[in-house]
Structure 1
């Protein structure tokens, strides 16, 4: 199969305006931008009168600023004015894995075009919040791509995947160990964007697509995320196909050897430790993965094309965006899926590049020899999840005052938490632990899973100062998912309740079926 050629043409970048040129544009895609160059690029847009506002999301562990950009026309003073505008508010971040560098460069190009280039009219219909260099410390840990990002087709020198603490920032959205995560969650809580995008590069499989994409994969499907998966991304895909850009739902071949390709195509995990999965539980969420085997310039072009096509589609459908986000905000499910498994496969035709063993590396992402031959293969495609355990969502959860660190996690997620202003006695349900399993070391934690069940509510007394988490709120389902003891990716998983976990004990999270009739105060 002949590869689509438009991206090769797009990779020949038109002369940028004035001094607003990215490092790849200045070097014929020989290198990626440094942190200082990203800041200088944004400053040059401001100096040109681009009408953007540049701020600092937070500070990295090694002391670097994490810039954000608000692109709006007219400029908005803050989140409230952005909401009043009626325009979709779209958050886009890049470089969370700092070896995956084309998202950073593509987002800088898009910002230039939105503000001083040919895409300015888009800002009549959409507001963009951009974080082009999310992992600033990883970006500056430059080294040979053969070490920092093996298997990626350029540039020769890139940063590292982890942040300055050694954390994978795209596994940190529940445990919140990194300052980057805490800062971005605070920003998301403040602005409450309608859509969230995260720009990456693939690993591994040799396929026939310029870019693969995914909605949030958590099986707790909201109206917004279901619409993204079933309509928005398919419409963007069709638009890009007409432009000559081939895309497909994100995944990897189960077996890359030519005779075994038909075994299937499978996506990644569903846990909200991944940013796109967490955001998909409360808003439109889109993950972008440029094809790592394409040249650097082509990956920049394909990512830019995907971002622009998505922004155009959202800008053209503001009423539908608002309706699906509003339906998600208003939804009050009576249960939450706390464990998941791959959904049954569907049959589809996937374009594979035939590759030969090259003797480099091992495992599923071993380097192979490319042939340039592309073949459509009918195979099972697994790109969704189903729930395997559901728990009823109560009226509220309660935590004793000693669990203030858990409350800090909830508040950073944007969950509303209250405290009882007086003692209260009433029916309270508890979760009895049958077993506690401490698993492998991962990202600075030992992952925990528990077995047990909720008992019937019994009379109990809650002292003044007890934390109460009502579920009738914007993020009620998210609160339920992270607090439920049996959740596969909640606060129990990440060790926040370890000191209270032992077989036959009661879990610290308890449930109420009605709100206490005593004064309650918001936790700031």
Structure 2
């Protein structure tokens, strides 16, 4: 009964006003509603709109991608202003929409084509552009969209043909925001900094459990935002989005992520780290969203629900523009003086909300393949019941704010990424020797298999030391002043952070020792060292007394003496990026 009622409500959901035949998209031209635009059709459609409405729409190339095709930037503005600085002076909010990061999940591609047209052609909708400028990337993973097929999304109900998740380098671009291995991510980072949006939306399709909703939502984890921004998101923006979607007859729930076999165990906030779009956006005090349509619903309602979500988002940003601006300004001001930065997070199991969840009963039956029990969701047994929603995160590691980080110029790949994020790298004008705080790696874990082209490090353990080191003219200083993207800088340069540059393997060469000893030669030198340094001898004897296995292991004792002597190379296991805690400028 409830399933029938919900389906009826969805059938009555408002759809865009019928466009003139010349302006119908490939999706709209398919009576079955099971067609998504090809890449060529998509770009041609935006080119046609830009030619017809030059006063409100601007289409430009925004940098290269791994496909060889350019990333495209669409700007929609009521008065035709496409200058970010001018738009900020006019106190307009910026809504950034990105589609096709996973081209097998193409609803946003088609929905945005329709919404862009309607914003340009319908006067009532065009008024929404008076206080909000839309920046839109029609297709982010062009590479994957060109790799069109009908089989890679085996769990998904349409469309008839679609793109592939990986890009031309077989990268999942929604794991590439921090490491930026792809040209796509490099171009995006520059475009994102150009606009510094208030809100970022990236459209997706879900995998996982079956349930009654056509669309679910991942929002930036509110606990990970600055307090003013997190409170605004929870108290004002999210309620407005859920209410707006209810009014458009698309009931929505938080993204269905859970532990256990079925959602009744409780929904869990998606702890997006900066490798993902919403986690990346949060580093710059931008609220991020990933609407996730449900893979098992037909393609047409998935497209229409995405259209209505994007429209609801635009309406909400327009209506709440003053509150959004105030919350972001407060977040930026707080970050300018923030002394302690969280680096890693976990779900706080001691706190939860309650949501009324519309699901299907999870049951078991014998598998036709193996004969063993298998899970299925019984659509003849819908339910609505309260489930816990664990939506609070707590930090598990922090770092104190330094005055600056010093980066030797050898690490140019790291410097390039920092610049793309808006950080200022000041080169030293002369050689200097300064006291700095340095890290030595004492332990970490590494993934046994490659993940997105890297062997990720985690559970990083450090020894901190204060040393006077010499830096050369041309080495870079990154000051954490009021205008710096401080959170981004800290979370990429502190090696304990979940998605730091160390975690992604950018500094792996320091983990390998470059010189060593021949044991038969070093035996005599080690004996001399112990004879000349009573404290070294005492430390060795204490270790032997405390550890019988070490006491009978000659090579291990010889290695220990070497490690604790001046002959051991100082750069081994020392993190190359130093923390400077002084005042003023380095070297002055």
Q: Same fold (TM over 0.5)?
A: yes
CA separation of 1:110/1:12 partners in 2, compared to 1, >3 Å: closer, same or farther? Answer: closer
Q: 1:20 aligns with which of 1, 5, 23?
A: 23
Provide the TM-score with structure 1 as the length reference.
0.91
**Does 2:135 match 1:125?**
no
Q: 2:577 aligns with which of 495, 506, 509?
A: 509
CA separation of 1:126/1:17 partners in 2, compared to 1, >3 Å: closer, same or farther? Answer: farther
SS at match of 2:344: strand
Higher strand residue share? 1
Q: 1:484 aligns with which of 463, 482, 494?
A: 494
Provide the TM-score with structure 2 as the length reference.
0.82
SS at match of 1:3: helix
**Does 2:232 match 1:164?**
no
Structure 1: runs of 5+ lacking an equivalent: none
Partner of 1:263: 265
Higher helix residue share? 2
How far, CA to CA, are the matches of 1:373 and 1:127 in structure 2? 44
Q: Structure 1, residues 352-394: CA drift from partner, whole Å, max 9, x if none?
A: 12355585999xxx99455154212333322342111111121
CA separation of 1:6/1:361 partners in 2, compared to 1, >3 Å: closer, same or farther? Answer: farther
Q: 2:357 aligns with which of 350, 361, 370?
A: 350
How far, CA to CA, are the matches of 1:86 and 1:70 in structure 2? 16
Q: 1:460 aligns with which of 466, 469, 487?
A: 469
Partner of 2:450: 441
Larger RCO, structure (CA 8 Å, separation 6 or more): 1
How far, CA to CA, are the matches of 2:142 and 2:222 in structure 1? 28
How far, CA to CA, are the matches of 1:518 and 1:389 in structure 2? 28
Q: 2:309 aligns with which of 306, 309, 316?
A: 306
How far, CA to CA, are the matches of 2:280 and 2:477 in structure 1? 22
Q: 1:109 aligns with which of 114, 117, 136?
A: 114
How far, CA to CA, are the matches of 2:255 and 2:393 in structure 1? 14
How far, CA to CA, are the matches of 2:146 and 2:211 in structure 1? 30
CA separation of 1:70/1:370 partners in 2, compared to 1, >3 Å: closer, same or farther? Answer: farther
Q: 2:62 aligns with which of 48, 57, 60?
A: 57
Instruction: Compute the displacement of 1:11 (Å).
Output: 7.1
Instruction: Compute the displacement of 1:176 (Å).
Output: 0.2
SS at match of 1:167: coil
Q: 2:79 aligns with which of 74, 82, 91?
A: 74
CA contact (8 A) 2:434 2:587 kept: no
SS at match of 2:402: coil
Partner of 2:276: 274
Instruction: Compute the displacement of 1:518 (Å).
Output: 5.5
Q: 2:430 aligns with which of 414, 419, 422?
A: 422
Structure 2: runs of 5+ lacking an equivalent: 514-571
**Does 2:365 match 1:297?**
no
Instruction: Compute the displacement of 1:126 (Å).
Output: 0.7
Q: Structure 1, residues 450-505: CA drift from partner, whole Å, max 9, x if none?
A: 63335353443333222111122341011101100111211001110000125973
How far, CA to CA, are the matches of 1:368 and 1:157 in structure 2? 26
Q: Structure 1, residues 259-303: CA drift from partner, whole Å, max 9, x if none?
A: xx4322223333110011110222122221112222111011111
SS at match of 1:86: coil
